Amino acid sequence: MSVRSAAAAFAVVAILSACRTTPVRPAIDPLAEARRIELRQLVVTDSVREVLARGLRDSAYPAAYAVIGSSRAIYASVGVGGLEPTSAPPRDTVTFTMSPPQPTVFGDAGTTRQLDINIPRSRPAPMLAVTDSTVWDLASLTKVLATTSAVLQLVADGRVQLDAPARTYLPRWRAPGTDSITVRHLLTHSSGLPAWRPLYKEAWSAEEAMAQVYATAPDTAPGLRYVYSDLGFILLGELVAHVSGVPLDSYVLANVFLPLDMRETRFHPSALWRTRTAATEIDPWRQRWLRGEVHDENSFQLGAVSGHAGLFSTARDLTRLAQALLLSGWSDSLPESLRSAVRVRELPVFDAATLRAFTQRQSVVPGSHRALGWETPTGRNSGGQRLSALAFGHTGFTGTSIWMDPEQDLFVILLTNRVNPTRERSGIGGVRSALANAVVGAINSLNAP
């Protein structure tokens, strides 16, 4: 059974069950609902395939995978390109037979001997197809999927206050000018901290690199300007570890990923996943082609567990997270029968009120489009021009992005390795916005009179 057929069948079963348990509510025709989902799958899949194929032809990436869906269905799950094989090139065995009466070095005359020679194939080994289980380096999606999710939970539990000085939770952070920086400032990239510094060149160990982060002073007072700062999110990862008592990777695995059955999402991906992991850059600093190790140099120097980068995941895992975000914060906007059908009255991972607050555009810096951790649509960023004002998302340097739109009950996931074999590839920005626009346009075409 295909993904589309399975999703449609699931929707029918779920809605039928809901109609039995909530007879006082107006029933939704399950056949009509299944047909609506099927039509969306047809038009959205075609649109997604066209956008991804165009990006591949334009050399925006060597491989890409996209998943589009709603809180209760998958509309498209499409991959293009391929992964380089990790094993040695295949070889063909050629057998030579020596027959009498010719004497040979392999035996006396009258004796038949065979010589097997392994010859490498002249043609290249076949590429491996990308699937929903391909493992991708998420880069800065780490900021929202791991770090922001963890901070959200700590805020919901009352263990962290957004407007408290961040140094309350970071006793090591005593750099000049940091006393008035709040947790909210760090989440909205308005702390005044610089965007970045080359820790991988300045430090010889993870401990020394983190000491450099703690020693970094802000360039300006907090709240004056927006500067997208990796350093701020490295500190937020430290905040999670200090407040929770466990490292960031352990916290999110236990409290976010495993509760959502996301078993292929983690820092330090398993070596067993390497054959299905998308390679990234031929790194001039590490002098090797990266596959299964974090692309971001600073994250690598920090031990590959950092609040700003280092997370790996698959399309099917991120689908679970996207649906959980839509259902946790906005399930009350769905019909009661559908809420019952997909069992979303209470999800333990994200508190609804806190999630809504985190995804609203903040007013810390006038004109900023940032929410708490998340980005919001501007018409000029990766969300394109057709997502609603309630949408929230983020991008990653390796060519990844994710957007959720509660108003349209829609998510758009794009995973690529556009930095393979070099970060000099361009064009991913256009693919991201084109994908979001194409998806919404395809869905709206079905709603046109």
Residue 279 has pLDDT above 60, yes or no: yes
Report how far Cα 306 is from the mean position of its chain's Cα atoms.
15
Examine the domain organization and report whether 103 and 31 are in the same domain.
no
Q: How many helices (H) and strands (E) does the chain have?
A: 14, 13
Indicate the range of 173-187, 299-313, 341-355 predicted with least confidence: 341-355
Q: Is residue 245 domain-shared with residue 350, that is, in the same domain?
A: no
180/274 same-domain check: yes
Q: State the pLDDT at residue 19.
A: 40
Report how many domains make up the chain.
3
**What was the pLDDT predicted at 332?**
58
Mean of per-residue pLDDT scores for the chain:
87
Distance CA 9, CA 243 (A): 44
The DSSP line for 85-115 is: -SSPPPEEEEEEEE-TTS-BTTB-TT--EEE
Q: For residue 436, is it within any domain?
A: yes
pLDDT interval class at 141 (50, 70, 90): very high
Q: What's residue 8's pLDDT?
A: 45
Confidence tier at 124 by pLDDT (50, 70, 90)? low
- CA-nearest of 353, 318, 327, 354 to 152 is 354
Q: Are 160 and 175 in contact (CB under 8 A)?
A: no
Query: How would residue 101 be classed by pLDDT, with cut points 50, 70 and 90?
Result: very low
In a domain, 11, yes or no: yes
The model carries a pTM of 0.85
Owning domain of residue 108: 91-120
- Domain boundary pick from 301, 326, 359: 301
Q: Is residue 307 part of a domain?
A: no
Question: pLDDT per residue over 256-271, tens digit each?
Answer: 999 999 999 999 999 9
Do 166 and 217 fall within a single domain? Answer: yes
Comparing C-alpha atoms, which of 286, 288, 287, 289 is closest to residue 299?
A: 286
Domain-terminating residue out of 240, 270, 301:
301
Residues 4-58: tens digit of each pLDDT: 444 444 343 344 444 433 333 345 678 888 999 999 999 999 999 999 999 999 9
Pick from 196, 423, 201, 422: nearest CA to 301: 201
Q: What is the DSSP letter of 146?
A: I
Which pLDDT score is estimated for 12? 39
Per-residue pLDDT of 331-362, as tens digits, reads: 555 545 444 444 443 457 999 999 999 999 99
Residue 275 token pair? 């054959």
Give residue-wise pLDDT tens across range 219-250. 999 999 999 999 999 999 999 999 999 999 99
Q: In the 3-class helix/strand/coil scheme, how is 175-214 assigned residue by residue?
A: CCCCCCCEHHHHHCCCCCCCCCCCHHHHCCCHHHHHHHHH
For residue 449, what pLDDT band results from cuts at 50, 70 and 90? low
Q: Token pair for residue 239? A: 């905040």
Residues 168 and 283 in one domain: yes
The residue among 18 and 83 whose pLDDT is bigger is 83
With beta carbons less than 8 A apart as the criterion, state whether 300 and 294 touch. Answer: yes
Pair 186, 206 in one domain: yes
> Which strand (E) or helix (H) includes residue 282?
strand 282-283
Show the tokens assigned to 82. 């391929």
Percentage of the chain exceeding pLDDT 90:
77
Residue 241 lies inside a defined structural domain of this protein: yes
Residues 95 and 82 in one domain: no
Q: What share of the chain in percent tops pLDDT 70?
A: 81
**Does residue 425 sit within a domain?**
yes
| Tokens read off for 444 | 């709206």
Among 248, 275, 301, identify where a domain stops.
301
In a domain, 105, yes or no: yes
Residues 199 and 249 in one domain: yes
Q: Is the pLDDT of residue 89 over 60?
A: no
Tell whether 306 is covered by a domain: no
Greater confidence (177 vs 94) lies with: 177
Q: Is the domain of 155 the same as that of 210?
A: yes
Residues 391 and 259 in one domain: no
Inside any domain, residue 409: yes
Contacts 24+ apart (CB under 8 A), 336-339: 336/18, 336/22, 336/25, 337/15, 337/18, 337/19, 337/22, 337/25, 337/27, 337/28, 338/14, 338/15, 338/18, 338/28, 338/72, 339/18
Tell whether 196 and 267 lie within a shared domain. Answer: yes
Q: Judge if 258 and 336 occupy the same domain.
A: no
Q: List the CATH number of the domain containing 231.
A: 3.40.710.10
